[in-house]
C-alpha cells in the first residue's frame, strides 16, 4: 500500500547566502511511502497503518525548528525521520525550494530509500 503526503508547505531558514539565513523561505515537501497495509484493510484500526498526521507533524516540526544550509542535507534528515518506522519499506521524498533561483519556478531535491 502507498500513502502520499502532498505539498506540505513550510516556512524555514534554508540556504547558504546571508540573506537566506535571515529570512525564512517557503519549501514544498512531497512524500510517498510504501508499507504493508493488509492489516489496516482488514481491521480499520489506526494502529495497523502509518499515522500520517503524526508523520506530517514530525516533518513540519523538524523543518520549522531547525536551520539548514543545504536542501540536500534537510532531505536526508527528513528521510531519517520517515525510515524510523520500520513498517515503511521504501520512501520517495522531494523538497522544492521555489525561491531558489531567478527565472526558475523551483529547484528540487529528490531522494529514494529502501528500509535496510
Question: SS3 sequence, 85-97?
Answer: CCCEEEEEEEEEE
Q: What is the CATH number of the domain that holds 96?
A: 3.30.1130.10
The length of the chain, given as a count of residues: 116
Rounded Cα–Cα distance for residues 19 and 96 (Å): 19
Write out pLDDT tens, residues 80-96.
999 999 999 999 999 99
Q: What's this model's pTM, rounded to 2 decimal places?
A: 0.93
Q: Which domain does 69 fall in, by range?
A: 2-114
**Which residue, among 77, 70, 60, has the nearest Cα to 20 in the 3D structure?**
70
Tell me what the mean pLDDT of segment 51-77 comes to.
96
Write out pLDDT tens, residues 14-61.
999 999 899 999 999 999 999 999 999 999 999 999 999 999 999 999
- CA dihedral in degrees (71, 73, 78, 83; nearest 10)? 140
Report how many domains make up the chain.
Answer: 1
Amino acid 13: pLDDT: 95
Rounded Cα–Cα distance for residues 86 and 116 (Å): 9
Amino acid at each position: 500500500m502507498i500513502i502520499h503526503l502532498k505539498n506540505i508547505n513550510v516556512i524555514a531558514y534554508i540556504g547558504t547566502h546571508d540573506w537566506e539565513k535571515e529570512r525564512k523561505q517557503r519549501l514544498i515537501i512531497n512524500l510517498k511511502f510504501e508499507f504493508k497495509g493488509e492489516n489496516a484493510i482488514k481491521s480499520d484500526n489506526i494502529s495497523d497503518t502509518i499515522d500520517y498526521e503524526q508523520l506530517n507533524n514530525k516533518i513540519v516540526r523538524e523543518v520549522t525548528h531547525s536551520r539548514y544550509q543545504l536542501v540536500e542535507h534537510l532531505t536526508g534528515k527528513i528521510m531519517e525521520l520517515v525510515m524510523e518506522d520500520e513498517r515503511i519499506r521504501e520512501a520517495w521524498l522531494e523538497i522544492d525550494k521555489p525561491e531558489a533561483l531567478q527565472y526558475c519556478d523551483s529547484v528540487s531535491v529528490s531522494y529514494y530509500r529502501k528500509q535496510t
